[in-house]
Amino acid sequence: MNLSAVRSSLLIFVLATVLAGCSVNPVTGEKQLSLIGESQELAMGAEQYVPTQQTQGGQFYVDPELGLYVSEVGRKMAAVSDRPDLPYEFVVLNSSVPNAWALPGGKIAINRGLLTELENEAQLASVLGHEIVHAAARHSVQRMQQGMLISAGVAGLGFALSDNEWAGLIMGGAALGAQLALAQYSQGDELESDHYGILYMKEAGYDPAAAVELQEIFLKLSEGRNPGFIEGMFATHPPSAKRVQENRELAQKIGTGGYRGEDIYKRKLAELRSLQPAYDAHDKALELASKGDMTAALGKVNEAIRILPREAMFYALRGRIYEEQKQPEKAAEDFEKAVSLYPEMFKYRLYNGLNALRLNNLDKARENLVRANEVVPTSIAFLRLGDVAVKQNNRKEAVAYYSKAAEAGGDVAEEAKRKLAALTQ
């Protein structure tokens, strides 16, 4: 078959695939490409929700009442959406970065760092309504499909966690979920989510003016180049004067007025706001540690622990500081404390396992690294599990772990390949 015939056949195949994969957007009613079915969409969101939460800070477990409140508001908005039967879930994440995101199938998260910027329940409803539209209109799925068409047959093995040298590369489904959560939406998707989110607010009884106020706050913060918002909300949901104006016009058209919920929001946020000094101290400690000032960082994280001794995140950071100060025994105590407070969190298991390996506590290292990989697989965990297996004279297991680590790319993969070659000579 000549090149022209091959190209023609490929074009016919692509056109047939596109035509066969057309569906109606459940929110807008417009036709759109649909290569990923609803069952795949739901499965994807369900599988990646917990791992993606963990790559973005994990659950904010110290105030469970706040999580219940956010879920109540989210369910109220989801009930009036165009896909009320999606298996919606809402979670508050333990991150100071102001952000919110949605995975396919209605799996939605909002960071505590964004909650503290809001003033009332109606603004919270606006954020959640916006994310509900992203899920209901299948925006994440559409972005995935665009990627599939651009790079058909090419599968990424993982991506780097920029702020965490210990985590190496996240691999598999967790990488995909985090990429979806952190990817920037198109202006069309953002305007669509604003528009229908405001309609949902009105239907649920909230004041649509809160959505306008929210965008005005975001636009003002972006003009002031607030670094937290640039890293978080603005990276994934870029604000613009056009969004403010379109939101204002729609709110005026459908009529403002409705429930705002200032008092209840103030009550529900009271504990988080009272704990804010502890998280500010932690964030300052992290900043100081990143600059190499471990003594000052230790002082700040100790301040955070004094204010809130039941927060696992603080012990994990102090453990990392102790590691940098060549005090692995003290680090081990803090990593154990972090794991005891939040045993499901992969990072705390990972830190604990890596430190245990340095102390040559092989059984503890293996247990924690395996447990970490069960939630969020990382190349560094596979690599060090290979090292544990070598020390325990388990060649077959070491080969399997090194082979897995070698798939990820980067320095971790190169080390795995060298060790794999040494084992198989």
pTM: 0.86
Segment 306-325, tens digit of pLDDT: 999 999 999 999 999 999 99
The pLDDT value recorded for residue 13 is: 43
Q: Judging by DSSP bridges, how do beta strands 158-160 and 169-171 pair with one another? A: antiparallel
Rounded-to-integer distance, Cα 93 and Cα 62, Å = 11
Q: How many CA atoms lie within 13 A of 327 on its CB side?
A: 14
The pLDDT value recorded for residue 233 is: 65
* 246 CB-near residues (< 8 Å, 6+ apart): 191, 194, 195
Q: Which tokens go with 289?
A: 């540690």
Tell me which residue of 78, 86, 87, 82 sits closest to 24, measured CA to CA: 82
The pLDDT value recorded for residue 188 is: 76
Rounded-to-integer distance, Cα 18 and Cα 94, Å = 41
**Planar angle of CA 159, 227, 304, nearest 5 degrees:** 85
Segment 226-277, tens digit of pLDDT: 666 666 666 667 777 888 899 999 999 999 999 999 999 999 999 999 999 9
Rounded-to-integer distance, Cα 419 and Cα 414, Å = 9
Q: Which tokens go with 411?
A: 């320095």
Rounded-to-integer distance, Cα 173 and Cα 155, Å = 11
CB 301 within 8 A of CB 321: yes
At residue 95, what is the residue type?
Answer: S
Rounded-to-integer distance, Cα 363 and Cα 197, Å = 51
Tens of each residue's pLDDT in the chain, 425 residues: 444 554 454 444 444 444 445 566 767 656 666 656 778 888 888 888 999 899 999 999 999 999 999 999 999 999 999 999 999 999 999 999 888 999 889 999 999 999 999 999 999 999 999 999 988 887 666 666 555 433 333 333 344 443 445 455 677 666 666 666 666 666 777 888 899 999 999 999 999 999 999 988 888 877 766 666 666 666 667 777 888 899 999 999 999 999 999 999 999 999 999 999 999 999 999 999 999 999 999 999 999 999 999 999 999 999 999 999 999 999 999 999 999 999 999 999 999 999 999 999 999 999 999 999 999 999 999 999 999 999 999 999 999 999 999 988 788 999 999 999 999 87
The pLDDT value recorded for residue 223 is: 78
